Structure 1
């Protein structure tokens, strides 16, 4: 049986879900971002227990089919940008459509209806979050970051970065260094 969980976006979330399943005596087959497959059928009592325990940790057990599909879209994007070794080079629309087995136009319309933003904007926001992370790690320069995140140029990355954060990547890098220096001097 598959269960879908909203806001499950990190390895820490996966560990938390595993613990909650164990507390309820449920055995998982797999735990992925946003989805858990368990061996047995879940009773209504177990479902309510899991729902309330997850809610206490900021996670939400999903029941509505539209919400489940939107959460799957979000999980595919988050995994693609934050956890994949390399972001797919083709169209994101083809990748998402192929991963979920639905027509992209349907997915796009549903996502916009439920979330109030486009899939493209959601992807851009996550690419900028990944860029912020890479900037703070200070292992790659902006050219390498823009290449890794499949931007056409550093200027394109910088423009989107400034649009989303209000700051240029170089300013953000300075802020990160300043904060790091301050913490080291405590």
Structure 2
């Protein structure tokens, strides 16, 4: 789950199946009681139809937590502090960053750094389309060292300059769950 609409969709599925005493947050559902297998199977099927999956493998769960933390910091954090993701991930997940990095690369086929960059570029696209901030304000907001660094990374990832993207706009964005 990567957005608040995802949380609502999962909550609705839980309610349909009368699964109570659950708390739902980005990327996680915590139950306070065991769920019978038939309900769990039905939930898995219903969530699958919505593009979600139940993760029972602890490695997959850890990867989803990594993704959720990154998405939360890049897309939903209102603070202007620049994030040191290796520190944030290590503290939040109580694991050494080199372990998290190796696991993420092994399971996802890309590095955490590339995942962070792809999330940041999607956020840049969003902010460019909204046209409320200048490129230098966007660079600062997302923790880039300079506009040039942001511009180079944007061009490398999208193949377009930020100004050209601004012209072609909306049809070049990706949903967060497709990154």
Settle same-fold status: TM greater than 0.5: yes
Please say if 1:93 is aligned against 2:86.
Answer: yes
Q: Is the CA contact (8 Å cut-off) linking 1:14 and 1:31 kept in structure 2?
A: yes
- 2:147 — aligned with what? 154
TM-score (norm 2): 0.91
Please say if 1:69 is aligned against 2:77.
Answer: no
Cα deviation for residue 44 of structure 1 reads: 1.0
Cα deviation for residue 176 of structure 1 reads: 2.5
Report matched runs for 1:102-181 at 5 Å: 102-176=95-169
Which residues of structure 2 form unaligned runs of 5+?
A: 173-179
Q: Pick from 28, 33, 42: which aligns with 1:49?
A: 42
The separation in 1 between residues aligned to 2:108 and 2:83, in whole angstroms, is 24
Which residues of structure 1 form unaligned runs of 5+?
A: 1-7, 180-186
The separation in 2 between residues aligned to 1:62 and 1:175, in whole angstroms, is 37
Corresponding residue pairs, total: 171
Which protein has the bigger strand share? 1
Q: Is the CA contact (8 Å cut-off) linking 2:82 and 2:142 kept in structure 1?
A: no
Q: Is the CA contact (8 Å cut-off) linking 2:135 and 2:147 kept in structure 1?
A: yes
The separation in 1 between residues aligned to 2:80 and 2:73, in whole angstroms, is 6
Q: Is the CA contact (8 Å cut-off) linking 2:154 and 2:161 kept in structure 1?
A: yes
Q: Is the CA contact (8 Å cut-off) linking 1:88 and 1:95 kept in structure 2?
A: no
User: Per-residue displacement from partner, 1:31-90 (whole Å, max 9, x unpaired)?
Assistant: 111101122211111111110000011110111111111111111101110111126424
TM-score (norm 1): 0.88
